[in-house]
Structure 1
Amino acid sequence: MNLFTKYIGIGAVAVLVGSTALQAIPQVGNNHFVTVASASSKSKIKKVKLGMTKKQVKKILGKPDRDDSGMLTYEKYGYLYFSKGKLTGGEDKNIQAQVTKKNAAKKSSKVNKRQTLLSQAKYFGTKDVESIQKATYAYASTEIDGGMMYMWKSKAGKLIRVDLDEYGKTAVYKYDDSKDNGLGEQLYIGKTILQKKPRTTVVYP
């Protein structure tokens, strides 16, 4: 059992919560539908965007050679794939380029969110106890066996901090309402900081 989690009862997190002021593109080889598209055809397909409905796509490209529930087939453009009524991919290079760009943006956004979460957890974990206990408008708190438990609504989501007096350690977790103690992934662990370091004043002769 985790050193921190064994001290947390089901009721502790309840106190805090109550008081807290593209769809993959199938690989189709040797596609016999795709032919050399004219300049006019290329111009049309460039107007087709991910997220469009079948009706919108047909308005731009015209009547398809085949219309299935999750796919439109054009001799000039190949297969266009739909999920929940929205265009999610296709064989044409213009559509594939959009999918690649969208996936890259999603990946970048996910990385940025993760970095923000870890940064917020470290900030919370390294904040001194004295300042946290004074800022009751920002941090909810409750006593637990052997220490204190705090909750903070950060810009990255709810975080829970556990301070254990016996060990002088602080751990910060992502709040998980599916867990009885509310402790999700551990994001930070370090020495408990009780007070801010006094400012050093340099006096020159």
Structure 2
Amino acid sequence: MSPRGVAVPNARELLFAAAERVVAAAGPGALTSRAITDEAGCAKGLLHAHFAGGLDEFVAELVLDRLARTAALAAELPARAGKDTVAANLSGVATALLTATGPDVSGLALTRPGAAERFRDAMASGAPGFTAIQESVTRYLDAERSLGRVPAGLDTAAAALALVGTVHHLLMTTWPGAPDPRDQVGRLVALLLRP
């Protein structure tokens, strides 16, 4: 355990990663401030020092952080036009979104009213999330259409909405032991790219 008063480098990420491990091992119901800090090997006060709003703020920030990472990955997608296969590129960003928070962590933001409110406020204020990812996928598909690698008649905005909306649905409705959602994403990508 880190001694009191000693700076902990990358404390936010240390706590976020610990929370993900707690949820993966014992489910969302096991997520408490104590469980997170015990898993991180730090003092309980560290969480509250970085998240004055307590566990609700922490959960909202965790989900926002993971969505922002996926949005940054998706923003690189248009530069991948013409590289690898379209299916692999789309599946890659969809898989990143599915695994960025995972269904259990994403669900935490919905089950904790304070976290859900913070999350909604952040999205309304322009935090990168599903809309940013959808816009990046649309730009990517536009670039691929100009290269002739997707059907000329493809409605790229609708295809991006279908992909991101499906992944969002899968995040909210997948549970431990459910079929691997990546299989469903693969089938959707194949359907969207059918000539």
State the TM-score bracket (shorter-chain normalisation).
under 0.3
- 1 or 2, which has the higher strand percentage? 1
TM-score by length of 1: 0.27
More helix by share: 2
